[in-house]
Each structure stands twice: as structure tokens, then as C-alpha cells.
């Protein structure tokens, strides 16, 4: 759950990544972890692979002020027990923990995989502001392997684009807030994609972008087409947020 400007609402990668998958024409299934204190309905666009119940829902406080963002962990929980066998039958897997709930030993190969850096490199101390203080070193061995981080995360984690390529990632997306994102691929090198419109939604944008791009690639689009189309979808999400499924744009 996210407390945004002290208003509590559902959050997390299943919400935003699932939305990106669905908007891009895919079907989203998720490992969902909630607590006994979770009083919201789960979105109907997510097919639940496994629902894990903890005493308390993982909860963050997000504060925005003068262009800065402060993220504090209010409640945490332990790792989610993921059984790789249950992932069979899906076309691809998104690994997008927010605070270490996915074990770094998980191996989803040879399935196509998209990985978000955030939960692999954050500290997770209840009551403290989130700080990136761990090196990212997760390796993949899938033919389609996509990585995402924002500029702050890639800088603070100490990992470079060349290292990510050595770790097995074939396509690398680095988000830069309102300025769009940079895509690195073997075929096309470095390409910058800049949005034409900028909305006010500031939560879940990276999760949505990665999931929509990954889904478009799984559906057969080449890297340039997928990047352009996911940029358009991300523009709509930045304006409409979760209403992007029910409104055009």
C-alpha cells in the first residue's frame, strides 16, 4: 500500500506492471503479497498465480516536494516463496520486487524475462527513508532479456550498461523522469525517446513502461516499434494513471 500525500491506496509492482501488460495487449498474472490489514479490492486485470498473506501489508509513504521525492518504508515483510514450476505456461516473467521480496537466487530461464532494479538494490529498514546501497548483480540467460532502472537508481547502484550486458541483458531501458527514456540494444545502440506530453502522475511509471515494452516485444514488435508504442502508452499513463484502462489517450 502506498501513502501518497498521506492518502492510502493499493500499490506495488503487480498493480502497475499488470496494468502495463494489460494495456499493451497481454494477460497479466501475478504473485501478490498482502497483509491482514489490506482492505482494498485487487484489480480484476490481474490473474492471481499465488497470494501470500502476511500480518501487515508492505507499506510506503511517498512525499513529493519541489521536484523531489522521498520514499519511506512504513511496514515491510519477508520474501515471497516463489515456485518456478508455477511459471510454466506463461510467455514471459517480470521480476520487479520493491523491497527484496523476490529471492536473488530465482532462476526463470529459459523464459523471456524483464527485470526492474528497484527492489534488488534498496535498503529495507522500517521507519527509514529508502536508500539505494547495494550493487546490482542479477544475471539472466534468456534470449529475450530486458532491464529497467531510472537514472538515480543506475547511478547509486554502481552498475554500468556494459556490466548489464555482461549479466546477459540484451535490451536496457534507463528512465529519466519527464524526459523519457534511453534504450540500449545490440542492433541499434543507444536511442533516446522523449515524450510529447507530460502528465502529473508520478507513481508506478517505470513499472508500467517496462511491462508495456516487454509485452509488445513478446507480441512480436521490434525494439524500435515497441519503444515508440510503449512511450505512447506511458504518456497516457502519466496523465490518466490507473484510469488508463477505461479511458482513451
What is the mean predicted confidence (pLDDT) over 181-200? 90
- Burial bucket for residue 166 (CB in 10 Å: 0-12, 13-18, 19+): exposed
CB 212 within 8 A of CB 234: yes
Q: Which residues, 6 or more positions from 97, have their beta carbon under 8 angstroms from its beta carbon? A: 13, 116, 118, 119, 120
Q: How far is CA 70 from the centre of its chain?
A: 18
Residue 247's pLDDT is 58
Predicted confidence band of residue 12 (pLDDT cuts 50, 70, 90): confident
What is the mean predicted confidence (pLDDT) over 211-219? 98
- Burial bucket for residue 239 (CB in 10 Å: 0-12, 13-18, 19+): middle
Distance from C-alpha of 176 to C-alpha of 188, rounded to nearest angstrom = 19
More reliable by pLDDT, 81 or 231: 231
85-131 pLDDT tens trace: 788 889 999 999 999 888 888 888 899 999 999 999 998 899 999 88
C-alpha separations of 11 from 58, 136, 166, 178, 193 in Å: 9, 24, 32, 21, 26
More reliable by pLDDT, 226 or 2: 226
Distance from C-alpha of 212 to C-alpha of 206, rounded to nearest angstrom = 10
146-190 pLDDT tens trace: 999 999 999 989 899 999 999 999 999 999 988 899 999 988 899
| CATH fold of the domain at 2-245 | 3.40.1190
Residue 205's pLDDT is 92
Q: Is the pLDDT of residue 249 over 70?
A: no
Closest CA to 98 of 57, 64, 63: 57
Residue 171's pLDDT is 98
More reliable by pLDDT, 220 or 70: 220
For the ranges 5-14, 118-127, 134-143, the lowest mean pLDDT is seen at 5-14
* pTM (predicted TM-score): 0.93
CB 146 within 8 A of CB 169: yes
Distance from C-alpha of 226 to C-alpha of 112, rounded to nearest angstrom = 15
For the chain, percent of residues with pLDDT exceeding 70: 98
CB 140 within 8 A of CB 109: yes
Name 113's bridge partners.
Answer: 93, 145
For the chain, percent of residues with pLDDT exceeding 90: 57
CB 147 within 8 A of CB 174: no
Q: Which of 57-61, 195-199, 218-222 has the highest mean pLDDT?
A: 218-222
Name 63's bridge partners.
Answer: 70
Residue 241's pLDDT is 78
Distance from C-alpha of 93 to C-alpha of 82, rounded to nearest angstrom = 12
Residue 9's pLDDT is 86
The mean pLDDT value of the chain amounts to 90
Amino acid at each position: 500500500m502506498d501513502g501518497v500525500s498521506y492518502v492510502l491506496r493499493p500499490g506495488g509492482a503487480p498493480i502497475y506492471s499488470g496494468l502495463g501488460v494489460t494495456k499493451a495487449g497481454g494477460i497479466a498474472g501475478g504473485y501478490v503479497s498482502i497483509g491482514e490489514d489490506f482492505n482494498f479490492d485487487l484489480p480484476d486485470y490481474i490473474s492471481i498465480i499465488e497470494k501470500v498473506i502476511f500480518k501487515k501489508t508492505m507499506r510506503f509513504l511517498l512525499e513529493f516536494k519541489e521536484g523531489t521525492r522521498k520514499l519511506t518504508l512504513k511496514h515491510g515483510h519477508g520474501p515471497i516463496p516463489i515456485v518456478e514450476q508455477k511459471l510454466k505456461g506463461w510467455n514471459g516473467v517480470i521480476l520487479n520486487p520493491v523491497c527484496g521480496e523476490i529471492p536473488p537466487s530465482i532462476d526463470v530461464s529459459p523464459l523471456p524475462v524483464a527485470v526492474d532494479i528497484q527492489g534488488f538494490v534498496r535498503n529495507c529498514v522500517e521507519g527509514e527513508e529508502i536508500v539505494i546501497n547495494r550493487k546490482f548483480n542479477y544475471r539472466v540467460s534468456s534470449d529475450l532479456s530486458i532491464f529497467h532502472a531510472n537514472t538515480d537508481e543506475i547511478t547509486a547502484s554502481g552498475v554500468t550498461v556494459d556490466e548489464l550486458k555482461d549479466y546477459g541483458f540484451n535490451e536496457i531501458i534507463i528512465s529519466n523522469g519527464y524526459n523519457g527514456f534511453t534504450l540500449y540494444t545490440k542492433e541499434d545502440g543507444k536511442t533516446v525517446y522523449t515524450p510529447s506530453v507530460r502528465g502529473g502522475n508520478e507513481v508506478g511509471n517505470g513499472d508500467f513502461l517496462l511491462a508495456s515494452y516487454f509485452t509488445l516485444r513478446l507480441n512480436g514488435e521490434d525494439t524500435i516499434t515497441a519503444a515508440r508504442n510503449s512511450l505512447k502508452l506511458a504518456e497516457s499513463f502519466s496523465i490518466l494513471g490507473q484510469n488508463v484502462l477505461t479511458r482513451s489517450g
